[in-house]
Amino acid sequence: MIRPATTDDLPLVRELWNEFEAEVPDVPWREDDSAAHLASLDRDVADEVVLLAERDGEPVGLAIATRKGTELGFLDVLYVRPSARGGGVAGELVREVVARLREAGATVLELEVLASNTGARAVYDRWGFAPHELTLAAHLDDLADRLVPPAGPTFGSVHVQTDDVGAVERAVVKVLPRLGRTAGTTVTGPRNGWVAVHDELCDREPTLLHRLGRELSYSLPAVTLAIGVEEGVAVRYNLFDRGGAVDEYLSVPEYRGELPPGDVVALGSNPRVVARLTGADPQQVREVARTASAPADLPPPLELVARIAAVMGVTEADHGWKGD
């Protein structure tokens, strides 16, 4: 049976609320405000939706919902004692909450749940609740470390192995809207059998730059090279053939943090693949596209990116998008 709580039920409501609160994992950086919530229960019983669930005359569950506006209700508490779980009590409580809020004119019910509470989230998903706002948290010390301004510029470009500029232009028009881009792009060349693509957004977002290289390689199809400098520290390139990634290079593999040894090795250049796809001399690739544990052990990034591109016969890789 589901029934509304009365002032006579306040001791029981407090008891169930304390049981509910004891099961909520602590969020270490938040102050304990349980005393204030406990003190407000008498007001909730008088003015809000406070429901008790009983089985065979024994209290087994509690739901508290409050109004947050003319159309919005908020499910503050939904609790079922362990001995009664799995029997549909929670659903019965929420159905009654919904009925009473609808009678009062509400049209939406919100609730909060910890991301780590996968069991409750699965139930709420089944009932039709969906995320519409996320609360994110970060330790200030971590933020301070991550928000340090980059040491230098981030830029990049994509180079397509073809002399057909028109085909590249048409492919760019089709591909960029899928990446959220509609303007701020230049297509130049051909030079040495390569057509260069510079894009305003991809220029400063390496992830999008690599996607652009892959998409153009698949669409044309052709060999493409996405190459650039990241934060004035490292040079990265990705080489694609007909949409498939065939070689990836990062001059300082661990500049963002420690990696497994195998990943460090994988981020070294593959001279044979580069030679096969670009016509570069493999020995020159080995000499130029080296990796190191620190940027100081390599040529300056602006010089290094130009040297690597030149070995492959590519020009215009040592600068970013400059506008129309």
User: Which architecture characterizes domain 2-127 according to CATH?
Assistant: 3-Layer(aba) Sandwich (3.40)
Residue predicted with more confidence, 24 or 300: 300
Closest CA to 153 of 295, 301, 260: 301
How large is the angle between the packed helices 206-219 and 165-175, nearest 10 degrees?
Answer: 120
**Looking at residue 256, what is its pLDDT?**
84
Q: Give the bridge partners for 228, in sequence order.
A: 156, 236
pTM: 0.57
Measured CA distances, 323 to 174, 183, 205 (Å): 20, 10, 16
How is the beta sheet containing 49-55 ordered, strand by strand? 2-4, 49-55, 58-67, 72-80, 108-111
Helix ranges (DSSP H) in the chain: 10-23, 34-39, 41-47, 89-103, 118-127, 140-146, 165-175, 200-204, 206-219, 261-266, 271-278, 282-288, 301-311
How confident is the model over 234-290, as pLDDT tens digits?
A: 999 999 999 899 999 999 998 888 889 899 999 999 999 999 999 999 999 999 999
Per-residue DSSP letter, 198: E
Sorted by sequence, the CB contacts under 8 Å of residue 75 that are 6+ apart come out as 63, 64, 65, 94, 97, 109, 110, 111
Given a cut of 80, whether residue 32 has pLDDT beyond it is no
Question: 3-state class of 195 per DSSP?
Answer: strand
pLDDT of residue 144: 80
**What gap in Å lies between CA 318 and CA 4, rounded to an integer?**
71
The CATH 3.40.630.30 portion of the chain extends over 2-127
Spatial neighbors of 159 by CB under 8 A, at least 6 apart, are: 194, 195, 196, 197, 224, 225, 227, 309, 314, 316, 317
Report the relative pairing of strands 108-111 and 72-80 from DSSP bridges: parallel
Q: What is the pLDDT of residues 186-242, one digit of tens each?
A: 899 899 999 999 998 888 889 999 999 999 999 999 999 999 999 999 999 999 999
